[in-house]
Structure 1
Amino acid sequence: MTRDRLTAGTALIYTMVGICGVAAFLYPFWLPGRALPSEAHSTTAPFVAALMATLVMLAVTVEIRQGTMSGSTVAVLAVLASSAGMLRLLDLPGGGSGIFFLVVLGGAAFGARFGILLGLSAMAVSAVLTGGIGPWLPFQMLGLGLMGALAGWVGSLTRRLPARGEVIVLAALGWVSGFLYGAVLNLWFWPFAIGEGPLSWNPGLGLTETIEHYWSFYVATSLAWDAAGALMNAVLILVTGIPVMRTLRRFSSRLLPAVHIEAPTELSLDAPVG
């Protein structure tokens, strides 16, 4: 996938993915009342999942038609998404998962747009393999797509670094992404959690109070788990990053669409006309 060719069509599609993702996470905060936890996203989750699937297929179609993706690139995307999905079946120490490190490395090697598609697709594949299909799935897909996009952006900045230096930067990104993914994902259910204390959200809270309550909730319920997962992300990237990135970079350079320009043939003055 080319990194420097972003047309209006592709920009519109990926902008729609971002807008829909933000709206899906934040709309509960604008509801007049709070639904029960069992009703969290019960009607919106299927719609969000269908919308994400449609946008992914549309993005791939537009990229292919515009020449920014090829059939080989789509095949690599499918292989990486399937591999990342299967890696989620492995139980790693500290609650870590191989799905995250492969999305980070894949996004860094192929670019932000590829990273978004890889994150969305990999989480969908893993949900099918693990039986983790539920109202949380589209939000997991969006969270992992965000990780892939960030990795693609960072990868565009680290391409000229020595291999070890790039892997260290990507390991730091994997560590940060572990916390970011957990903090973002908690938002899918936190507005629906029942409670009146400093860990809960209630309609009418201002922005500052909402942030304070959420921070207290995150520290109390998710920070330790996310810290263990973030550490495992960093370790996996440090251990496997150099050979994996070398392989992915090689594929990335080979899969860039090439335009062949033939030199014009000379017109002979002695050739008969008509």
Structure 2
Amino acid sequence: MTGITLPESEKAERVRPVRAVRLGPRSVVALVLVSAVGVAAFGWPLLAGPSFGTAHAADAPWLFGALLPLLVAVAVATIADAGLDAKAVAMLGVLAAVGAALRPLGAGTAGLEPMFFLMVLSGRVLGPGFGFVLGAVTMFASALLTGGVGPWMPFQMLSMAWFTMGAGLLPGPERLRGRAETALLAAYGAVASLLYGTVMNLYGWTIVPGLGSGISFVAGDPVHENLVRFLAYCLTTSLGWDLGRAALTVVLTLAVGPVLLRALRRATRRASFEARVTFEGPGGVRTPTGTWSSPKPDSRDAEV
């Protein structure tokens, strides 16, 4: 029996990943700068010297808490300006609403948060730029929905933006498909879920008193001593929650990941995010860049 041969254009469409947002140089620079400030915001207790820790231990979390939402907003605006059209905004709104609605389903139960698997799959299909925006917007919407607005929210937004963007940076679907791709996403979801909890612990560790002096942050102490305390803090306070989040992400990714990946890819193909828009002017002159040019005017077009 002779197989059906697909046209080359359709083959390319099925193999080449479709991105809702193509990152330009400005967007990349904005993401790098925001990420650098984010690393400083989370890691200042381990990165700063003793003098900084002693003098600004009480000020740093609040300073970064005020700075991060502005920087995240700038990054989101830069990415949106680079090519987040109406179709991408609609997709963003739907996925953010679903993610925000999924998060409360497991809140308060061993750290089970089903929104994480959706962020992994969405970032994978729609790319790192869209993933960064989706992660930040979803966490913001979730905080409004659950009443979780507070100084920790900007840190959660940036952490989730990193989480979703990382899925978009994994090897492309032209290299991996089927079970191999699902296994990769499940493994990423497990590791990234643990890292999300660890990174968020860095925020809470410095402002929330520890369970004992052996795991509390001590401003001005050597880095290696604070690092030992931090690891003990994670093991004591949040490891159970982080493992529950990672396990649920793996189970949901393996169970419904292939179906949802196909649905998302079908939606992105139909949305034609990367299609070149052409407009036809009155005289039939067409331009491919979203603008149109009219034919040269004659004497009848002159103003009276």
Q: Which residue of 2 aligns with 1:129?
A: 145
The percentage of counterpart residues that share the same residue type is 34
Show the 5 A alignment for 1:100-249.
100-154=116-170, 156-194=171-209, 197-249=213-265
Whether the 8 Å CA contact 1:159–1:166 is kept in 2: the answer is no
User: Structure 1: which 5+ runs fail to align?
Assistant: 263-274
Aligned residues: 256
Q: Which residue of 1 aligns with 2:98?
A: 83
TM-score after normalising by structure 1: 0.82
**1:33 aligned counterpart, secondary structure:** helix
User: Structure 2: which 5+ runs fail to align?
Assistant: 1-17, 279-285, 287-304
Pairing partner for 2:28 from 7, 11, 22: 11
Deviation for aligned residue 1:13: 1.5
Query: How many Å separate the matches in 1 of 2:54 and 2:233?
Result: 20
TM-score after normalising by structure 2: 0.75
Query: How many Å separate the matches in 2 of 1:118 and 1:41?
Result: 25
**1:231 aligned counterpart, secondary structure:** helix
Deviation for aligned residue 1:187: 0.7
Whether the 8 Å CA contact 1:40–1:189 is kept in 2: the answer is no
CA-based RMSD of the aligned residues comes to 2.8
One-letter amino acid matched to 2:34: V
Change (3 A) 1:205 1:3: farther
Larger radius of gyration: 2
Whether the 8 Å CA contact 2:21–2:79 is kept in 1: the answer is no
> Per-residue CA shift, 1:190-233, capped at 9, x if unaligned?
12344673312212333322322211111111112211111011
Matched, 1:57 2:73: no
Deviation for aligned residue 1:248: 1.0
Whether the 8 Å CA contact 1:94–1:232 is kept in 2: the answer is no
Query: How many Å separate the matches in 2 of 1:34 and 1:194?
Result: 18
